[in-house]
Amino acid sequence: MHLRTLLSSLLVLFIFSACGYKPSAQFSRDVIGERVSTNVLISGQDPENTVLIKDAVNEALVKIFHSSLVSRSDSQTHLDISITEPSYTPLQYDKDGYVTGYRTHLTLNISRYHNGLSKKYTSGGTYDFSIAANAVITDQEQFDAIKYSAKKAIKSFIAQVAAEGARTKE
């Protein structure tokens, strides 16, 4: 039984290596590089959420790209990131007409500088959440909505970079 499992595992490995399978994170890393610096432009209207987005971007760079965060002078790639003001769209109403569900939308504008060239990206993220009828959105709900929207926007950016890296390898 163990021999069968071993042979099956070897067959799967052979198939993936023979067809040139490469994870999308590797394509992204080829574009981004190993040493990255970031600058998130502080929003005068929403400085707390800007810090949150910077942390989410840095976390994604380390976890997904497996890149090291360094100063701008030591980096291969520099990212300038700005955020739009989050929007809240009513999605759901109760029987009395009070809003009970919202969708948050956030857009990140990212400029990537690498080897003397620059490229601009726009990526968006949304997050749906519920509130009690006839209630206002609390600061914590706004904070969470922006955090999760930003994470989705960062994933969208990563997908764009991975696609770019895959196209350059063809």
- pLDDT per residue, tens digit, the chain (170 aa), is 566 777 677 667 666 655 555 555 566 566 777 888 888 887 766 677 777 777 777 777 777 777 788 999 898 889 998 888 889 999 999 999 999 999 999 899 999 998 888 999 999 999 999 998 778 888 888 888 888 888 899 889 888 888 887 776 55
**What's residue 26's pLDDT?**
61
**What's residue 25's pLDDT?**
57
- Structure-token pair, residue 64: 């997904």
**What's residue 123's pLDDT?**
94
Strand, coil or helix: 170: coil
**What's residue 47's pLDDT?**
72
Distance of CA 38 to CAs 13, 16, 47, 97, 99, Å?
37, 34, 16, 44, 38
**What's residue 18's pLDDT?**
53
Q: What is the DSSP string of 122-163?
A: EEEEEEEEE--TT-PPPHHHHHHHHHHHHHHHHHHHHHHHHH
Closest to 146 measured CA to CA, from 90, 101, 83, 86? 86
Identify the structural domains of the chain with CATH numbers, from first to last. Answer: 25-169 (3.30.160.150)
